[in-house]
Amino acid sequence: MKASGNFRIERDSLGEVRVPTNRLFGAQTQRAVENFPISGLKPWRAFIWSVAIIKLAAAKVNSSLGLLDADIAHAIIQASEEVLKGKWDKHFIVDPFQAGAGTSHNMNVNEVIANRATQLMGGKPGEYLVHPNDHVNMSQSTNDVIPTAIRLGCLWRLEELMQAIGSLASALEQKSAEFDDIVKSGRTHLQDAVPIRMGQEFSGYAQAVRRDGERILRAAEGLRRLGIGGTAVGTGLNAHPSYHRAMVEQLALLTDLKLYTSNNLFESMQSMADSLDFSAALRTLAVTLTRIANDFRLLASGPTTGLDEIRLPAVQPGSSIMPGKVNPVLAEMLNMAMFHVIGCDTTVSLSAQAGQLELNVMMPVIAHNLFEMMQIMIGAIQAFTNKCVIGITANREKAVGWLARNAIVVTALNPLIGYAAGAALVKEATERNITIQEVACEKARQGMFTHQKTGAPVTEEEIIAALSDLRRLTEGGILGIASGG
């Protein structure tokens, strides 16, 4: 290695490369930086952490198997631990859109750890007393490191994601209880429907979020099967026969995660189905959250010319030209964030099907999008929960007012007068702009209704009784028929 001013000269199999002297990465990382000036994006912390912990585990396992010198192993372990703590994050700089399979990112980690370990052994970056390939990458290939790192990185943030999901579901359940005495107009096809309690509406939102969380947990189980030790194509070439099992055990110990050995290392190399399954579960939650955000925006519309049944917290002025305007900005943010998550899932889907023969070379973009999905989902859910859902209030007067004008409450009269007579009432009430109760009582006084079953006249009192307890209309069953007990 030669040094000149702000650069040191390193060599790789293609020749000499100028590397900044103040950087811990080496020749292959520098080539990647020059080859892929694509997005300006850097690796997600989860990707740095997950590859570094593989290097840490490998140093321990290779040392225990007698393959790696103890002093070199100790230096790699210490350097890896520093990387895990985030001490050298600025040295991980390879764009997500890079060489296929993730060789550039793997070598970025190998070189940073090797140069830092070299420093710990008294050398200088570029001297490689600890070699990035021979020592840090011992018993490994990019082809088994990167798919393992994707799995570990997702599992690393899983608990944080589940906590965010649980907090949102709990906040929605709290609102369900708070709003349960408000009977309002249900709506299907965006048209008036039978009554529903606002609490019931919110209970549906809460349960949908919880079920999507359960789907994510089920999908995450597939990520726990690790193919580390398959090396280049799944045969385990250049890895000790005990390496695969020992690595999984060591990674489980280091991460405190439940991890399992893969029962087919070739499948672990070829297939990204487990990552795709996890991505799809995140997408499902994104679709659910988009729907809920849309409902909140609709229910809060107005306030003077919309539904205005709920009020979302006012967190910032809504217009640069219209004074006093306040917009549903947290719900809008959630929409945009979830649209992005859905787009990331599409990228993961296309990348997963692009695998060929023994390897999927699209792993870098799969990793980037999965980690981005998790980050965006965690941040968006936390903001939506804390700054929107917790502060939602109900506009009881408006909700009850809309219900009073809802002609579809005529459904409560079906057991008395039948569907056809009810439809005629709706038409007349709408045309005359009066309530169903007003027109139905008028018809009853005129003796125009008969009981469906008995043929006896339906009285005004029966009409009033059927329409008086609107909460009863939200509790199911057939009106007018007593339950057994």
Count of CA atoms in the C-beta half-sphere (13 A) of 198: 27
**Secondary structure of the chain in the HEC alphabet?**
CEEECCEEEEEECCEEEEEECCCCCCHHHHHHHHHCCCCCCCCCHHHHHHHHHHHHHHHHHHHHCCCCCHHHHHHHHHHHHHHHCCCCHHHCCCCCCCCHHHHHHHHHHHHHHHHHHHHHCCCCCCCCCCCHHHHHCCCCCHHHHHHHHHHHHHHHHHHHHHHHHHHHHHHHHHHHHHCCCCEEEEEECCEEEEEEEHHHHHHHHHHHHHHHHHHHHHHHHHCCEECCCCCCCCCCCCCCCCHHHHHHHHHHHHHCCCCEECCCHHHHHHCCHHHHHHHHHHHHHHHHHHHHHHHHHHHCCCCCCCCCCEECCCCCCCCCCCCCCCCCHHHHHHHHHHHHHHHHHHHHHHHHHCCECCECCCHHHHHHHHHHHHHHHHHHHHHHHHHCHHHCEECHHHHHHHHHCCHHHHHHHHHHHCHHHHHHHHHHHHHHCCCHHHHHHHHHHCCCCECCCCCCECCHHHHHHHHHCHHHHHCCCCCCCCCCC
Residue 290 contacts residue 339 (beta carbons within 8 Å): yes
Q: Rounded CA gap, 266 and 236, in Å?
A: 10
Residue that has been written with the tokens 């609107």 in this structure: 470
**Known active-site residue 319:** yes
Q: Look up residue 310 and give its amino acid.
A: I
- Using CA atoms, how far residue 275 sits from 148, 244, 271, in Å, is 10, 20, 9
**Structure-token pair, residue 404:** 């009073």
CA angle 210, 213, 216 (to 5 degrees): 160
Partnered with residue 16 across adjacent β-strands are: 11
Partnered with residue 310 across adjacent β-strands are: 394
Annotated active-site residue in 104, 319, 320, 468: 319
Count of CA atoms in the C-beta half-sphere (13 A) of 115: 25
Active-site annotation, residues? 319
